[in-house]
A and B are shown apart, each in its own frame.
Chain A
């Protein structure tokens, strides 16, 4: 065991030290330089620099280890290209719609959407991170279930139940808050996770033991959760004067975790993103580094074959749905454990659960991909928010996203297209028709002029 740990550290010392320095730079250093904007700026620069450098380093290592790498044969690369094409299609559709509606401001508006989270510098960047947290978590919920071959369209219901539980604990269990504020928040979030997991277990059980399609149960449970939520709010935590849930205790509000120093203007940034990143890492490890994750994926690829290989397919389906539901529950908890945000008994489905489907698809159903896709969506949303300065409605973002999902549903077709273009290029390179080195030089010369 000791040797294993030692080897792990020796082999991954670069990654570990990068992670550690990022941790210090993000969470510890900024609080000492609150008034000194130039030092804060350089800390931000360092964070960005280290991240970019690490990615480039990884890229170089990869190139070295795979000298005969062909882009058209890498499933991951083809998938990413497919996602990007879907995004471009969606954005183009949005641009065309804007040109039809309001040609004068279309390009200005389009650039606002593209700039997204950078419209107001670190204020909108912090807001973008805040808004993407529930999206990332509900995206993770759907992505994880997808790996086991399940389509968790019921994430909205799990999210709703999680949200209610978190708010209920936040309102009623103030006694914990007197012991320790952090504990109160943690218990509320934990409760949201557990209830989300239990709500997710229902379609899992029905799928595994009664062979009921999880999409159908998921949709039904979404509506049950929606009505149940209204019912429970009115019965237990209702604020009649404002027709909404009571205020949660201050101790249950998501802590800022020192992020307010890096994003001083953002009114909404909080520690939710830390939870989201931790869940991303945990799910990544489960899926890629454990036997359990391997079994889950095997069940997803071929339920019968995995059964034949001695895996308990039924149990794995339930577990996958439990973990998926837990993630959606966390999303709900983090959405409403915020001062000034209230659950309302309005009988409307919470849209974040459905948006998660888009994010999971764009993120190729992988945890890290989902994180990036969630941030991208958050950025689009910020773009939609600032778009209101012009004569546009923010719903254009939803239109764009719907087109993106539709385009990525045509994934097989897009992937074939990508593979074909990549192969063509590779063939030309092999035949010496395109000399990549010369082409690069030409480009450089061109830009000099």
Chain B
């Protein structure tokens, strides 16, 4: 395989896994910037992916909608379910001042168990099958040389929707008044409160947005990587958390981190066809481990100037003003 072939082969795969990763990591960013640590990303992804997959499965079998429309409906349903499910986390950590890690862990345990339980009742097995392939070629754009081959041939509509939503979300968070207010809740909620900002409301918004993005990310994961949903998103939620930290809570770096993490995942499964990597004779697991190890090392060396929101993880206490 020539170098160009390798690029053509790998790059679409890397993008396909980097999109859900960066989208979910951005969800985590919204939540943490508003001051709520959300380790429930994995659970929310599973929940969104599960209900999204159920919807897609139902529409495939019972309607004759165009398949790309089915994908869009699935993504929307996933996002809505993500919002609803994340409300539990928001209620516990904002109103009840609960330990946010514990509440997140509860959601993470609930989602796969609930998915298996429900899927067994409906299908008899725990797999939710997805019949169609959602790959598509985009007219006109696919004829552009090089770029057309990499980005617009055999691409997923979910990837493009993911990229658009990522851009919108970043603009909202960093270029609007509401975004600034939301970020202030994660840095110094007492000061924000004294200026008349409703901390509780904005934290709810932060967690709900993270739920929407994670739920949608779950559906993107299912559409891009498998022909069925098996009560798991392969640890993508936790990987997204790593992306968020590796990206130092900054959208640009989150994209870079997601591409790096996605790249590692892709070469772990495709190294056999890449002559250079095949000669190294390394096991798959080494590539899979690397992103996590890199995150730990980065944490160990740059934690002193980390950009983590100061008040993330602390319940808001207006008495601390």
Contact = CB atoms under 8 A, between A and B. Distances in A.
Contact of B242 (A210, A220, A410, A413): A220
B117 A230 contact: no
A228 B299 CA distance: 20
A220 B295 contact: yes
Nearest to A235: B283
B101 A153 contact: yes
Interface in B239-255: 239, 241-242, 245
Contacts of B102: 357, 361, 405, 408-409
B288 interface: yes
A410 B296 contact: no
Contacts of B99: 151, 409
Q: Is the interface of A mostly helix, strand, loop or mixed?
A: helix
A344 interface: no
A231 interface: yes
Given A227-B285, A227-B288, A409-B92, A217 B106 contact: no
B110 interface: yes
A411 interface: yes
Most chain B Cβ neighbours within 10 Å, of A217, A224, A406? A406
A178 interface: no
Interface stretch (A303-311, A390-398, A440-448): A390-398
B280 interface: no
Contact of A358 (B109, B121, B241, B296): B109
Interface string B114-150: 1011001100000000000000000000000000000
Contacts of A216: 241, 245, 295, 299
Contacts of A101: 121
A210 B299 contact: yes
Interface in A390-444: 393, 395-399, 401-403, 405-406, 408-413
B292 interface: yes
Contacts of B98: 409-412
A206 B110 contact: no
B9 interface: no
B103 A409 contact: yes
A219 B235 CA distance: 10
Contacts, number: 130
Interface string A356-368: 0110010000000
A211 B110 contact: no
Contacts of A406: 88, 92, 103, 106-107, 110
Which bracket fits the contact residues of A? 35 or more
A140 B180 CA distance: 43
Which bracket fits the contact residues of B? 35 or more
A212 interface: yes
B105 A223 contact: no
A437 to B, nearest CB: 39
Contact of B289 (A227, A399, A403): A227
Interface in A92-127: 97, 101
A402 B110 contact: yes
B273 interface: no
B105 A357 contact: yes
A354 interface: yes
Contacts of A234: 283
Contact of B293 (A153, A224, A403): A224
Interface string A172-190: 0000000000000000000
Closest 4 pairs (CB-CB, A-B): A398-B113, A402-B110, A406-B106, A405-B106
Given A215-B101, A227-B289, 16 more contacts: A101-B121, A210-B301, A210-B304, A212-B300, A220-B242, A220-B296, A221-B292, A228-B289, A395-B117, A396-B117, A398-B109, A399-B110, A402-B106, A402-B107, A403-B110, A405-B106
26 contacts: A215-B37, A216-B241, A216-B295, A217-B296, A219-B39, A220-B293, A221-B292, A223-B292, A227-B286, A227-B288, A227-B289, A231-B285, A231-B286, A234-B283, A347-B285, A357-B105, A395-B116, A396-B113, A398-B109, A398-B110, A399-B110, A402-B113, A406-B88, A412-B96, A412-B97, A412-B98
